């Protein structure tokens, strides 16, 4: 405890300089934590994917549809437990800035395949019974202040027109990583309307969601599905849900790589700041360290004082930065919810903050320690004012 007290007194002897250094470290840790959380949010969909689910789409591109008649054939393939289907709807609420993912799905089979979307029994029943009913995630409902029974109108982009829905259910995520910003409605509502207004677009779906008995069967089942529809008018490409999600993430590889680089550049810059602070502190105390040497203090103890002071400054900034990261991430996630539906700080980010701060603290103390131990006692005593 006495040594710790000395380290804190040394660290805060020059309060302004130490305070600015700690502030710099705090900002760096805060920026690093947020940048890493943004990267985690980018991969959140893939990380939350289930090993029990496959996604089947048109082999040419996801924008091309598949016939609804494929459902029965997929269901008959060995290893398949449940088959559902859906279409990206692309509706807009009031104006374009109110964007959120909205899908037309076959509700019974979809809810069976996605048990992480938790409904109350009454709300689930109400949603299944009402063809114009919709179900939304908790975060989405909170964002727009929607309540059960509200009429919600979406302006179609992929499917033109004004589409009315009645909010019948609000789901919560079973896990922290569950997306609570989805808008789901009955595929039949969309399909029946298409039969009247655009018959050529009816009885077609964009994606099949396929449940498998065991994860180890995924590759075999995927190959069997694609083999079934080989040489047909609409060939398929089936992959795991995680691979499907990562396909979208791959489109942003350059951006993600840039964010990663920036996050580590921030740490390198703060290393230079701390190293400069420690060099100045060690230079100012050269005379004191010379006196310690005359009193019999070994190089190890003197090095311990310098490294200890560096660690006190660095870890203080780290602690403050980590504490501020949580409210900052909450505010950022709330304001950017339409782009990052799953936004939370992973434990790995905190561990990385601590490890990198420890490394910065150690590296920053190397040069001033080496210079202090190298200087002769007589030269050090001459520097005493």
Q: What is the mean pLDDT of residues 104-128?
A: 94
Pairing of strands 92-93, 236-240: unpaired
Q: What is the mean pLDDT of residues 324-330?
A: 86
Percent of the chain with pLDDT over 90: 39
The answer to whether 57 and 66 have CB atoms below 8 angstroms apart is yes
Q: How far is CA 82 from CA 73, 109, 173, in A?
A: 12, 7, 21
Q: What is the pLDDT of residues 216-235, one digit of tens each?
A: 999 999 999 999 999 888 99
Q: Which region among 43-52, 59-68, 220-229, 374-383 has the lowest average model confidence (pLDDT)?
A: 374-383
CA 238 to chain CA centroid, Å, is: 25
- pLDDT (0 to 100) of residue 377: 61
Q: Is the pLDDT of residue 41 over 80?
A: no
Distance, CA of 268 to CA of 171 (rounded, Å): 44
- pLDDT (0 to 100) of residue 251: 63
Residues 6 or more apart whose CB falls under 8 angstroms from that of 351 comprise none
Q: How far is CA 237 from CA 48, 54, 69, 105, 110, in A?
A: 21, 10, 16, 20, 20
Higher pLDDT, 290 or 347: 347
Distance, CA of 300 to CA of 63 (rounded, Å): 67
Residues 6 or more apart whose CB falls under 8 angstroms from that of 27 comprise 321
Of 273, 277, 275, the closest CA to residue 15 belongs to 277
Identity of the highest mean pLDDT range in 156-160, 247-251, 267-271: 156-160
């Amino acid at each position: 405890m006495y040594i710790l007290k000395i380290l804190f007194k040394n660290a805060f002897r020059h309060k302004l300089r130490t305070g600015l250094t700690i502030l710099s470290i705090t900002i760096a840790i805060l920026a690093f934590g947020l940048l890493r959380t943004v990267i985690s949010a980018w991969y959140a969909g893939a990380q939350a994917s289930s090993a029990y689910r496959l996604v089947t789409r048109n082999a040419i591109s996801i924008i091309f549809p598949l016939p609804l008649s494929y459902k029965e054939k997929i269901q008959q393939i060995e290893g398949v437990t449940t088959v559902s289907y859906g279409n990206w709807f692309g509706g807009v609420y009031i104006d374009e800035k109110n964007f959120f993912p909205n899908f037309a799905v076959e509700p019974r089979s979809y809810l069976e395949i996605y048990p992480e979307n938790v409904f109350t029994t009454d709300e689930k029943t109400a949603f299944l019974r009402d063809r114009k009913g919709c179900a939304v995630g908790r975060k989405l409902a909170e964002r727009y202040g929607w309540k059960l029974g509200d009429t919600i109108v979406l302006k179609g982009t992929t499917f033109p027109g004004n589409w009315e829905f009645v909010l019948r259910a609000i789901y919560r995520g079973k896990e922290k990583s569950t997306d609570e910003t989805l808008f789901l409605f009955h595929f039949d509502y969309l399909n029946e309307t298409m039969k009247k207004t655009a018959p050529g677009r009816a009885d077609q779906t964009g994606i099949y969601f396929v449940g498998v008995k065991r994860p180890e069967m995924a590759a075999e089942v995927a190959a069997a599905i694609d083999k079934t529809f080989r040489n047909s008018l609409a060939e398929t490409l089936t992959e795991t849900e995680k691979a499907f999600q990562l396909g979208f993430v791959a489109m942003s590889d350059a951006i993600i790589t840039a964010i990663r680089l920036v996050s580590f550049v921030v740490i390198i810059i703060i290393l230079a700041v701390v190293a400069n602070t420690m060099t100045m502190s060690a230079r100012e105390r050269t005379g004191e360290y010379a006196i310690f040497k005359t009193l019999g203090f070994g190089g190890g103890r003197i090095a311990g004082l310098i490294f200890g002071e560096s660690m006190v400054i660095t870890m203080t900034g780290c602690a403050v930065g980590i504490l501020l990261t949580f409210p900052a991430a909450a505010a950022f996630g709330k304001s950017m919810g339409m782009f990052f539906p799953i936004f939370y700080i992973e434990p790995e980010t905190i561990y990385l903050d601590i490890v990198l701060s420890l490394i910065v603290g150690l590296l920053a103390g190397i040069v001033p320690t080496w210079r202090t131990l190298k200087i002769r006692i007589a030269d050090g005593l001459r520097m005493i004012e």
